[in-house]
Amino acid sequence: MGTSGTQPTLWDRSRQAVVASIFDTAMRLFDEQGYESTTIAQIAKEAGISQRSLFRYFGTKEDIVCGEQDELGEMLRTVVESQPAGATPWEALRAGLLAILEAHGTPEEVLRMTTLIFNTPSLRARYTQKRWHWQESVLPGIAARMAGDDGPVPEVRAAAVVATVFACADAATEAWIRSAGRADPAALYDEALAAVRS
């Protein structure tokens, strides 16, 4: 954050440029030689920095691809909780998922990164772990949104709604990857959710 709270400082911009350079370098190497065959040492060398410097920005190789998941999870929670009071839990969660999809970058960039995550077991495991945290973070807001005149809704019901939404999102993402990005991910999600809710 800059001194005004809205404008990034020179240090922020420099850091963002280094992070982008490392990410772009890593993605190119992953494309060329595969994720598992690419080492941190190779990424650092190609990016023109030391391994020690790279670790200042990314704690692990997985973090280069999945590192922003915590920020996206916070975005999801914020968007879900900011939806109008009249929005159903399904509508609130859909709005949050769409916000995340749009925040990732261009459709081509999202497809490239998502395909890598879903097709690489170690990345898929890291991604799944972070998504559990996402579900935990939105659960209180969804439970509150489901509460009625009879009082709080049982947590298991809210947890079931959240888990269903995430399962449908994953099913839609896998179908989107198989379509090579030609299908509409939002439409795929709606189709998956409709199948469950029917």
What distance in Å separates the CA atoms of residue 20 and residue 37, rounded to the nearest whole number? 21
* Residue-wise pLDDT tens digits, 55-111: 998 888 988 888 777 788 899 999 999 999 999 999 999 999 999 888 877 888 889
In this prediction, residue 149 carries a pLDDT of 60
* Residue-wise pLDDT tens digits, 11-39: 777 888 888 899 899 999 999 999 999 99
What distance in Å separates the CA atoms of residue 115 and residue 132, rounded to the nearest whole number? 20
* Chain-centre distance for alpha carbon 118: 12
CATH 1.10.10.60 domain position(s) in the chain: 10-64
Type of residue numbered 62: E
In this prediction, residue 2 carries a pLDDT of 40
pLDDT band at 54 (very low <50, low <70, confident <90, very high): very high
In this prediction, residue 151 carries a pLDDT of 65
In this prediction, residue 6 carries a pLDDT of 58
What distance in Å separates the CA atoms of residue 57 and residue 81, rounded to the nearest whole number? 30
| Average pLDDT in the chain | 89
In the predicted structure, residue 194 carries a pLDDT above the cut 70: yes
Q: Which fold has domain 10-64?
A: Arc Repressor Mutant, subunit A (1.10.10)
In this prediction, residue 14 carries a pLDDT of 81
State the CATH class of domain 68-197: mainly alpha
In this prediction, residue 184 carries a pLDDT of 94
Q: 141-176 b/e with 16+ CB inside 10 Å = b?
A: bbbebbeeeeeebeeeebeebbebbbebbbbbbebb
Regarding predicted confidence, which is higher, 193 or 155? 193
What distance in Å separates the CA atoms of residue 19 and residue 5, rounded to the nearest whole number? 21
pLDDT band at 133 (very low <50, low <70, confident <90, very high): very high
* Residue-wise pLDDT tens digits, 96-118: 999 988 887 788 888 988 999 99
